[in-house]
Structure 1
Amino acid sequence: MGQLMLNRVMSMQRESRHLQIQPHNGPADSTVDRKDSTCKQGHCSQGDEAQYPGPHLPQDIWCHICSLLPMRDAARAACVSHAFKRCWRCYPNLAFDMITLGIDIESCGEDEIARRFTSKVDHILKNRPCIATKTLEIVFRFYNAEVCNIDSWFQIAVTPGIEELIVELSSNSGRYYNFPWSLIANESGNSIRHLNISRCAFSPTGGLCFKSLSRLELTDVDITGDQLGFILQNSFALQRMQLTFCNKIISLKIPSHLQQLRYLDVFDGGRLLRVIELEAPNLSNFQFRGHRKVQISFGVGLQFKNFDLSFPGVLSYVCADFPSSLRYVETLSLGSCREMIDTPVLPSKFLHLKHLNVDLNTLTFPSTYDYCSLISLLDASPSLETLVMNVLQKKMLHESIVGDTSPLRQMPGHRHDSLKTVKIIGFSSAKSLVELTCHIIENTTSLEGLTLDTTTGHPSYSCLTNNIGKCMLLHGDFMVEVRKGLLAISTYVQPKVPSGVKLNVVEPCRRCHDRLL
């Protein structure tokens, strides 16, 4: 939007033949006339109009147009327009990264990159008037504690009125930046709406007043559960929270005073997390992905709409310990790389469940697992309309139906009359998988479409959807199973598909895999 406005105004200036192009011999800041009036607290006085050729607009209009531009475009505009010179000095959205600052990582070593990055950020901030910053974004993957002056950058830019603070740092040394939490423990923290911190140590020792905070994202942050509690203590406006690889958290508590919280995503890369306590009363979307089972407790009255769990044994966990909070779920996603027992019969029902995703994608899934045990999930979901399964395995260990002369099992008494769409990714010749597929066809009168994908199902592997124009070659064992899967489909599945059901069989591209097929 801002770029379109800029193009229109600049076009009007060119048509007037009065635009005066200024010479540019360095960063945009160095060309700014220091005697120019500046915007106070991020706003310009409407009476203080710049003397420039072109459209006659109040200075605050120019500043608004400038604020809609990406930072690099705003700096470029300041080099060719007196009006934008003044606006650049009060530009409210600061985004410092390698591309914006024009640093070529191929031209020098990491230490020199850190020095150049620091020099450019120092120059911009130190030549900036004392005006309010709305957004501060620092993204730098060559962080060097001996060179980067991040503390001083925060002291200059993190002021009352800031709304968005994004800090994404990384270094080959693995050393974390110690985030100066005290800078946002006062008025500056009150206005922050979005806080995104990555690869930092965040160690508050007291409560923080984030009364405007609506979105919190912490990625690979050195923080404990108690320290996170200091952030949440006064975050009454919080609506979304995402925790990724915050591996020092053992017990995650989501307190009941977070009444605005709707979305919670937890991605656990460690093995310390044991307990998640969900007490926020209006939490409706929850996602957890981890390497081990965690104990999840639910507050009274929670009613989830979207629920996503992924860890070994999750199918058995959800079905055996069925929480009442899931009775109202509409979209359920379950991911497991290992199930030691078959999926048990559920003690209750997902009365409102419409979309079910089951991800059993792994290198090798236990050969003892019976895919037909998933019928209990279908039975517990009378309103289910969409089923997506990913059973992709690098090496299939299940008993193959190819060469098996025993008849397919029949499981009468099960009806799935709301199910319309079924997709199975990584379809193989596993006998119990073929039996499950045939069962769905024979016991689902509402079925409209069935997709059996014998490939990886990933767009990057296909020449039709990747950027290299050819498929990524699949290894020999996988292609052997693809052939068996296609044979199982043509022999056992296809003859059972009613004429009103659209069967879509996806196989590897013959142009790229013709010799292997």
Structure 2
Amino acid sequence: MGQLMLNRVISMQRESRRLQIQPHNGTADSMVDRKDSTCKQDHCSQGGEIQYPGPHLPEDIWCHIYSLLPMRDAARAACVSHAFKRTWRCYPNLAFNMITLGIDIESCGEDGIARNFTNKVDHILKNRPCIATKTLEIVFRYYNAKVCNIDSWFQAAVTPGIEELTIELSSKSGRYYNFPWSLLANESGNSIRYLNLARCAFSPTDELCFKSLSRLELSDVAITGDQLGSILHNSFALQRMQLKFCNKIICLKIPFHLQQLRYLDVFDGGSLLRVIEVEAPNLSNFQFMGHRKVHLSFGVGLQFKKFDLYFPGAISYVCADFLSSLRYVEDLSLGSRCEMIDTPVLHSKFLHLKHLNVDLQAMTFSPTYDYCSLISLFDASPFLETLVMNVLQQKMLHESIVGDTSHLRQMPGHHHDSLKTVKIIGFSSAKSLVELTCHIIENTSSLESLTLNTTTGHPFDSCLTNNTGKCNLLGVDFMVEVGRGLLAIRTYVEPKVPSGVELNVVEPCRRCHDQPPPMP
């Protein structure tokens, strides 16, 4: 194994020599700048020149090559020579998790796992000189405050010049780790470019200044809106921000001075968040997913390119209260598990929209909802090219077209001349859904491909056998509706599909039909 790792290092040496032993300019200079060589700042370079196996290269080049290895591989490579062992002590990218530390969770209980994890991290940091750390990652799902020495780890590893910090902790008690923000209230905070915290408490100091921070991810962090504002106060370089399940935030404010911010993702797992106010003028990608409706307020002149909105009633919300910021959107995703009223008619248009995703899947759905009301949304998108709809229902409550003797409704005057690809997941025999499908076929001269998927559409749910040899699809009721949906396709849809349009019908495999046969 050691020889294999050595071969890998030598191969990387040759590639690095080909790419970097050249005149430097721009950011490449900093990668091999001898003034920045951490190996030459500590005792790793004492006692004469280190003799590395392979081609003769300057020591700082060797240190840089070595730093490109994943931590587990770097530790293994340190076993093949004294030079690599001494370079290992200068390794700047620390990743402490169950895999890199080689901990077997089956060998002992949670307290034993915590002790093993702690001992290995302590050993690594104890034998490591006080040098600059570039990246630090601590991911531990068995966190035990009585065993883990995490505070001392931060003291040793969070040094001025650190660029990336990832802390993901969880414990059986559910208690949050009180992250020591004071460590970042100095030069260490100024150099941070990427900060990722999960399951931590927030108690920052007023001296926080993240002038280099370009990406911020907070997941299940006990933080309020005002406390988040203290982080964003001086984060002028921030480009991406993701908030997941930070359930203490009631009003999320994204200030105007975040002029570099392009991406904002918010996942709300609680019920406190009421308002999202965005003043950052150049935000172009926005995503919100929550269990309840929130009020959205966007600054004047904001122009989205990609906009994703998922909460109960999201489709009606967007169509009834058309946001001027969506006039230039190119990729729009709307999801709702509770759309109780028909989609309102839009009085404005998405003049730049090319890709539309409508997600209406639900455990149960209003049986009165008319899928044809979505036509107004399509009409407001004259340049739409791709349409994906997810209408999966585990129990279909709509009126079925199977056995219905009435004629299909016609909606004349609606033409879609740019639409090329249509995909409907969870296709059923709901009469209004069949009518909508037929309307698209008859009024879309540009249509090239139509996919009707009668399964869940999820790769992990479709036709995967379990221990009994049967497929893991949904229950018998679902299979009955699949049969009705396939019958509706054969009876009403297929005859209307032009010869130039590719029709793809996705149905369960034959093993699925080993269950009680569906009845039309």
Confirm or deny a common fold (TM above 0.5). Answer: yes
The alpha carbon displacement at 1:190 in A equals 0.4
Equivalent position amino acid for 2:333 in 1:
S
Retained in 1: the 8 A contact 2:6–2:80? no
Q: Which residue of 1 aligns with 2:336?
A: 336
Structure 1 residues 140, 471: closer, same or farther in 2, change over 3 A?
same
Q: What CA distance in whole angstroms lies between the structure 2 residues aligned with 1:468 and 1:107? A: 31
Structure 2 residue aligned with 1:21? none
| Unpaired runs of at least 5, structure 1 | 14-36
Amino acid at match of 2:480: V
Q: CA deviation at 1:511?
A: 3.4
The whole-number CA distance in structure 1 between the counterparts of 2:79 and 2:5 is: 17
In 1, Cα distance between equivalents of 2:350 and 2:267: 25
Q: Quick check: 1:114–1:144 contact (8 Å CA) kept in 2?
A: yes
| Alpha-carbon distance, 1:418 to partner | 0.6
Provide closer, same or farther for how the CA distance between residues 53 and 315 of structure 1 changes in structure 2, counting only shifts above 3 A: closer
User: Cα gap change, 1:408/1:42 in structure 2, threshold over 3 Å: closer, same or farther?
Assistant: farther
Identify the range of structure 1 (234-243 vs 61-70) with the bigger mean alpha-carbon deviation. Answer: 61-70
Alignment check: 8 A CA contact 1:165 1:196 kept: yes
In the TM superposition, residue 513 of structure 1 has moved relative to its aligned partner by 2.8
| SS of the residue 1:483 aligns to | helix
Look up the equivalent residue of 2:513 and give its one-letter code: H
Is the CA contact 1:6–1:65 (under 8 Å) kept in the aligned structure 2? no
For residues 444 and 310 of structure 1, the distance between their equivalents in structure 2, rounded to whole angstroms, comes to 28
The residue matched to 2:439 in structure 1 has which SS? helix
Question: Equivalences for 1:112-191 in 2 at 5 Å?
Answer: 112-191=112-191
Shift of 1:9: 5.4
Distance (whole Å) between structure 2 residues aligned to residue 43 and residue 342 of structure 1: 72
Q: Give 1:363's aligned residue.
A: 363
Kindly state the Cα deviation for residue 207 of structure 1 after the two structures are TM-superposed.
Answer: 5.0
TM value normalised by structure 2: 0.91
String of CA shifts for 1:402-450, please: whole Å, max 9, x gaps: 0000101111111111100000000000000000000101110000000
| Structure-2 change in CA distance of 1:384 and 1:121 (3 Å) | same
Change (3 A) 1:38 1:333: closer
Amino acid in the other structure paired with 1:403? G
In structure 2, relative to structure 1, the CA distance for the partners of 1:188 and 1:11 (3 Å cut) is: closer
Q: Is the 8 A contact 1:194 1:216 kept in 2?
A: yes
Measure, in 1, the Cα distance between the counterparts of 2:260 and 2:52: 48
Alpha-carbon shift at residue 59 of structure 1 (Å): 2.2
Q: 1:474: how far off?
A: 2.6
- After superposition, the Cα gap between the structure-2 partners of 1:349 and 1:38, relative to the gap in structure 1 and judged at 3 Å, is closer
- 2:508 corresponds to: 508
2:34 aligns with none
Show the counterpart of 1:268. Answer: 268
* Structure 1 position 75 matched with structure 2 position 75: yes
CA distance in 2, matches of 1:52, 1:413: 76
Distance 2:60 2:47 in 1: 9
The aligned residue for residue 387 of structure 2 is: 387
Counterpart CA distance in 2 for 1:469 and 1:461 is 14
How far, CA to CA, are the matches of 1:467 and 1:197 in structure 2?
Answer: 39
CA RMSD of aligned residues (A): 2.4
**2:359·2:390 contact (CA, 8 Å) conserved in 1?**
yes
1:317 aligns with 2:317: yes
Quickly say closer, same or farther: Cα 1:210–1:43, change in 2 above 3 A: farther
Which amino acid letter does the alignment assign opposite residue 133 of structure 1? Answer: T
Paired position in structure 2 for 1:489: 489
Structure 2: which 5+ residue stretches go unaligned?
14-36
Distance in 2, matches of 1:284 and 1:121, equals: 41
Assess, with a 3 A threshold, how the Cα gap between structure 1 residues 514 and 40 changes in structure 2: closer, same or farther.
same
* Pair 1:71–1:403, CA change in 2 (3 A): same
Structure-1 separation of matches of 2:205 and 2:436? 55
Asked if the contact 2:136–2:165 (Cα under 8 Å) also holds between the matched residues in 1, the reply is yes
Name 1:233's counterpart in structure 2. 233
**Match status 1:477 vs 2:503:** no
Q: Which amino acid aligns with 1:98?
A: M
Inter-partner Cα distance in structure 2 for 1:309 and 1:288? 5
- Give the SS at the match of 2:374: helix
- 1:7-406 pair list within 5 angstroms: 7=7, 39-40=39-40, 49-51=49-51, 54-406=54-406
Q: CA deviation at 1:464?
A: 7.5
How many residues of Structure 1 are paired with residues of Structure 2 in the alignment?
492
The offset of 1:8, in angstroms, is 5.3
